[in-house]
Amino acid sequence: MKKTSLFCLALGLSAALCACGSAATETTPVPETDSAVAATESNDTTGTENAAAETESVVTEDAVPTSYLTGLECTEEEREQRPMAVMLNNIKAGTPQAGIGQASVIYEAPMEGADVTRLMPLFENWQNLDTIGYIRSSRDYFVYSALEFDAIYAHFGQATPYVGDLLNSDLVDNISGAVAGIDRPASKAFMRTDKRKAPHNVYTNGEALAEAAEKFEYSLTYHDTHKQKFAFAPLGEKADYPDNDTVVLMYPGGEKTGVGNGYSNVQAYFEYNDEDGKYYRYQYGDKHIDETTGEQLTVDNVIFQYCHGEFRDSKGYMAFDVHGGWEPGADLTNYKVQVFTGGKMVEGTWSRYSDTDPALYVDADGNPIRLNRGKTWVCLIWNEHADDVVLK
């Protein structure tokens, strides 16, 4: 069984940078090596950890068991079950995704050359999911984000050589397909549908993921190192920020296409609906839907987390610094966060000092930023692209 260890694999930037329903027919298992999907990326192992600063866990005191991811009431057994993080395609030919509407948290970040984005939904009660797709390759900044939730991490392909060492480490419980050089391949956990052309047709389901997790003897319950990431409003109450700016439209890449920040070509934006308190997701000029249900994706909170980043090589592989934290007196553009909840915007900073800690969000006074209970969408944005963001 893999055990969680505490170390951080560097991103290779500068010296200062540390790192459900069925939608498939006539399916076939996917071979372990698939050149159509496997990318070429890599991972250094010169980590950094701020030993002086330790991220404290956010504690939400509830009288009944509630989900660490959503804050919603659940059983004690459901509460202690580790989530499953799955890498999903978001290039137009790979949309709409199947099963994504059942995710509790969704991470989004740009890919090679900042042309498009990729998604990483985190699922609770994932063993019962029918179809999750369409799955693509791993990037290390997504792996580090999955570690914030102590999640099992599923993907199909990798960016060699930037992520292989991380996936093979004791830090990550991974379910990997089409990956040469991965110590624990799990090709049987992934299938293809004939409804789409490769490489945009790989999917999985809860049963296949559960079999792989059992094969590798992964713990299905949280490790002792797990800490709660989100601070939620008290049970039965709303996160209320009456004095904060009202923001009902958020464009993480701006309103123009071709800007080169990843989000602009996706035409991604969120629109707040005051009637139900939900943020509705749009992309590629239309509603962003779940293929399985046909319903538009909605969340209760949206977070723009700004990070230092650089291009790693001539192929345009990207790096995101998802570790560190703002220090008093430092530039507020470093480690900036914007939290959108209940139609309001709360600005603050984020900090994360080890791989097994989550990034925590605090306001200008250093208080935890409280979210409304429900689903959350996190967009990772390079600092240099902050001026592209449009809020209305």
The CATH fold of domain 28-215: YerB-like fold (3.50.90)
Asked if domains 28-215 and 233-391 share a fold, the reply is yes
* DSSP per-residue letters across 233-251: PPTT-----TTSPB--EEE
Question: Contact, 88 vs 133, CB < 8 A?
Answer: yes
Question: Any idea what DSSP says for residue 330?
Answer: S
Q: What is the pLDDT of residues 120-170, one digit of tens each?
A: 999 999 999 999 999 999 999 999 999 999 999 999 988 778 899 999 999
Nearest to 302 by CA among 263, 328, 354, 353: 263
Q: What is the pTM of this model?
A: 0.87
Q: Which two tokens stand for residue 195?
A: 């409804």
Helix (H) or strand (E) holding 381: strand 376-382
pLDDT at 32: 40
Backbone angles phi, psi at 126, to 5 degrees: -70, -20
Question: Contact, 369 vs 339, CB < 8 A?
Answer: yes
Which positions of the chain have pLDDT values less than 50? 1, 3-29, 31-55
The structural domains of the chain, with segments of one domain joined by +, span: 28-215, 233-391
pLDDT at 64: 94
Question: Any idea what DSSP says for residue 355?
Answer: T
Residue range 233-391 in CATH 3.30.565.10: no
